[in-house]
Chain A
């Protein structure tokens, strides 16, 4: 029974990672109607940046903060320099650019930091298992960090006028311009935020899976599955979907298919959702009258 409870808690911990990345995917999807396949690679690069800061002797939380800021800037630059020129191009061009971005960022990370697996520190690792061995300090800490990030993002979009302007620009760019919103910059901010959220996810998962240039590949797949479950245009749904996939993956891995086949579970979920309900299980239904 304890084993089962632990699988659930561990699932929630990794689910938080998927939820964060899923949220990053949804944010960019809402604004551009494209899925940023390179989100995982960008998060890996961010995690390597954090790693090199920690290696250079910078205290963990300072490195954490610095990485979030640098990642935000990288996200903004990617939108301004790479995405902006193709914003009106056909879908295939976008897919090409995303795949190009994925390869460039991935290879650049490998080239700069090498392909050997690195140990990434956890700020929560010092004290051993908690709650009678049910949960590790890192699981608890990383879940808390993830939740704080998700809540902050929610508060930002719900209550600040900049958050409202970003939503308006994503829903209806033409109308947004008419009220004076600089839509281009809102897009760039969205990319920056998504990159920053991805960076946090990367730093939280790296102590568990170890750090190498392909660290996020599988995670992106799970996150994508979570986003699809929740509905790719529904931020809250994507977050819930991410947690659900995390728990499901852990339970399936422990009791059904074994860890070897876990990734297959994600693929099965993706295909299943796409076939059965393309708008997602929690897909937002926009009520409108004409």
Chain B
């Protein structure tokens, strides 16, 4: 199992947000985590990568990572594209690439750069440009590329469609489909756009005020009208 989460509780200071989540992410697939605003999706991702105080059991390929420092979790092969993207706005596209691969010592970083150019040709054209001057869509692409350059086992994506025009969202989901098929990295995808996410995902979990209320194969959830009506609102 790639990621196994048991009894996950987390919050901010005195506020409890997650009340004991159990879920898994399987190797090489896409798992979607859906839910309304404020359900705790972002908090779940933050808890997994050690950005907030957390209780419970989180194991990455069998190794317990609960309570470890974020940088140690990253070094164990967990990449996170947070809400707000987590790119280095002041630095160039090239420097963001180099930072993405910062902890790697294998000799394949250059060839991974080429791979990113295949997936994100626009970034190659913007190579020397300051990340803060990229368009929103390009910034999201850079954020995903930066995360993939870690060569992660697991990639956490927090609302990659946020604030982007529908056409760009289509483009990014198209690229994510390629990444899923060509890279073998496991993806935990948080999305507001449930329809798009369920198309891409194999499994899905539905979060409501810090609890998982529905889980199952993405295709089934997509077909289930009562779930769609009561939780996904379409």
A contacts, CB < 8 Å to B = 161, 164-165, 167-168, 171-172, 174-183, 286-290
Contact among B69, B130, B134, B146 with A179 in the assembled complex (CB-CB below 8 Å) = B146
Q: Are A167 and B75 in contact (CB under 8 A)?
A: no
Contact among B75, B91, B130 with A168 in the assembled complex (CB-CB below 8 Å) = B91
Q: Are B102 and A288 in contact (CB under 8 A)?
A: no
Q: How far is the CB of A173 from chain B (nearest CB, A)?
A: 10
Q: Does B20 contact A (CB under 8 A)?
A: no
Q: Does B67 contact A (CB under 8 A)?
A: no
Q: Does B95 contact A (CB under 8 A)?
A: yes
Q: Does B225 contact A (CB under 8 A)?
A: no
Q: Which of B25-33, B81-89, B112-120, B209-217 contacts A (4 or more CB under 8 A)?
A: B81-89
Q: Are B71 and A287 in contact (CB under 8 A)?
A: no
Q: How far is the CB of B162 from chain A (nearest CB, A)?
A: 11
Known A174-B86, A286-B132, A288-B133; contact A180-B102, beta-carbon cutoff 8 A: yes
Contact among A164, A171, A180 with B103 in the assembled complex (CB-CB below 8 Å) = A180
Residues of A contacting B102 with CB < 8 Å? 161, 164-165, 168, 179-181
Q: List the A residue with the shortest CB-CB distance to B101.
A: A179
Q: Does B124 contact A (CB under 8 A)?
A: no
Q: How far is the CB of A166 from chain B (nearest CB, A)?
A: 11
Q: Does B49 contact A (CB under 8 A)?
A: yes
Q: Are B133 and A287 in contact (CB under 8 A)?
A: yes
In chain B, residues 162-200, which have Cβ atoms closer than 8 Å to a Cβ of chain A?
none
Residues of A contacting B95 with CB < 8 Å? 164, 168
Contact among A174, A179, A287, A288 with B99 in the assembled complex (CB-CB below 8 Å) = A179
Given contacts A164-B98, A175-B86, A180-B74, 5 further A-B contacts (CB under 8 A): A168-B95, A171-B91, A177-B70, A287-B130, A289-B134
Residues of B contacting A289 with CB < 8 Å? 132-136
Complex: A181 Cα to B70 Cα, angstroms: 9
Q: Does B144 contact A (CB under 8 A)?
A: no
Q: Are A172 and B80 in contact (CB under 8 A)?
A: no
Residues of A contacting B130 with CB < 8 Å? 287
Q: List the A residue with the shortest CB-CB distance to B81.
A: A178
Q: Are B70 and A178 in contact (CB under 8 A)?
A: yes
Complex: A176 Cα to B90 Cα, angstroms: 13
Known A161-B102, A164-B95, A172-B88; contact A180-B71, beta-carbon cutoff 8 A: yes
Residues of B contacting A177 with CB < 8 Å? 51, 69-71, 74
Known A164-B98, A287-B133, A289-B135; contact A179-B74, beta-carbon cutoff 8 A: yes
Complex: A172 Cα to B100 Cα, angstroms: 14
3 smallest beta-carbon distances between A and B, as pairs? A288-B132, A180-B103, A180-B74
Residues of B contacting A175 with CB < 8 Å? 82, 86-88
Residues of B contacting A164 with CB < 8 Å? 91, 95, 98-99, 102
